[in-house]
Amino acid sequence: MLSYQIVLGDVCSDRYNHFNLVRFIAAFAVLISHAWPISRGLGTVEPLTSVIGFSLGEVAVLIFFSLSGFLITRSFEQRYSTKTFLIARFARLFPGLAASLVFVGLVIGPLTSELGIWNYLKDPQTSKFFLRNLTLIQPQFTLPGVFGNLPYPAIEGSIWTLAHEVACYGLVLLLGVAGMFKKRLFLSAMLVIYVLSWAFLPEIEMHIHSKIFQTYVLALPFLVGMAFWIWRKRISLSLPILVLLWSVFALCKATSWAYPTFVFALTYSMFWLAYLPGKFCLNYNRSGDYSYGMYIYAFPVQGFVIWFWGPMAPSLNIVYAAPITLICAILSWHYIEKPALLIARAFKGAQTLKGLHYSANP
């Protein structure tokens, strides 16, 4: 383990990695993190926050964004066209989200609403729940008469990050169409300037809209993930470098540089772990990618188990909600997400064949 060292560019093009497992663990970490506020109410601080300054859920979201930055940038550079890139991104995000909203709005909602089924269905807020959340415009986290008396009076919570992720997808598209991925020095300078802006974080937060500020914060792990792809041939993954990065974070923990140094250390750790040799972990890839389903179903399921069984400790909430959420995630992957991705890939294949036909017959 101490002598294990590889260059990211030598391994990142194959499928022998633990990305699916890393994402699943991150999604499960979000479930664990949310058990505290869902069980005990708004403002409840989970134990990890007092140790490193970040909650387990925040760490998981940073992992998602940094890995997305890497994979989405790779996807754009390996795409056949901008159209296939957009279709792939749509297929990965929206069919699974739409199915979860239907489940939450038309199964959990009518079952738990204090208004009764008919009054619940005809309430304008019910239809707005689908429209606002599916379009990611001003997400709506409540449903009429649902979970209003629970410690955390909302049925949705995790999906707030999706709009910011789509914004980051747009950044990849913009930079890619402009040909900026071939200008590595420019992108590196952009990342350095972005990181240096953390010295002015209070002023920035004061002068921009809160949602734009959230995107600004979450864009950092995404950009670091992009940088890992762009500079993959020069990035070595080794334990000494990992220790060095965490040491830098420890030194900066009480300063304004805590967040950037934490993001760099966490992202590097994720890639180091993702490419560790281990056949047992690689076997997980055969099962499927259940991380997205875990992420979007966990919050409503965790609220439902409290509604059904009554007040409970965070640990019990995790025990009850985890298997139900996993079942939802498995069904989502095999019957919604995977078929949607296969359709997107079939379209990409058709576009590739079409391009070959035109190139052979100018």
- Across the range 103-116, mean pLDDT stands at 96
Average pLDDT score, the chain: 88
357/288 Cα distance (integer angstroms)? 34
pLDDT tens for each residue of 42-89: 888 887 787 788 899 999 999 999 999 999 999 888 876 888 889 999
- Across the range 102-130, mean pLDDT stands at 96
pLDDT tens for each residue of 143-167: 999 999 999 999 999 999 999 999 9
In the chain, pLDDT over 90 holds for what percent of residues? 63
Residue given tokens 């019990």 in the structure block: 316
290/244 Cα distance (integer angstroms)? 33
Distances (CA, A) of 133 to 97, 117, 141: 9, 21, 8
pLDDT tens for each residue of 247-260: 999 999 888 888 99
pLDDT at residue 353 is higher than 80: no
Residue given tokens 């990050």 in the structure block: 161
pLDDT at residue 117 is higher than 60: yes
- Across the range 314-333, mean pLDDT stands at 97
Residue 355: partners with Cβ closer than 8 Å, 6 or more residues away: 80, 81
Nearest to 268 by CA among 205, 225, 226, 301: 225
280/282 Cα distance (integer angstroms)? 5
Q: List the end-to-end C-alpha distance of the chain, in Å, as a whole number.
A: 54
Q: Where do the structural domains in the chain lie, given as residue ranges? A: 5-360
198/29 Cα distance (integer angstroms)? 27
Amino acid at 293: G
pLDDT at residue 96 is higher than 50: yes
pLDDT value of position 283: 73
pLDDT value of position 4: 63
Amino acid at 241: I
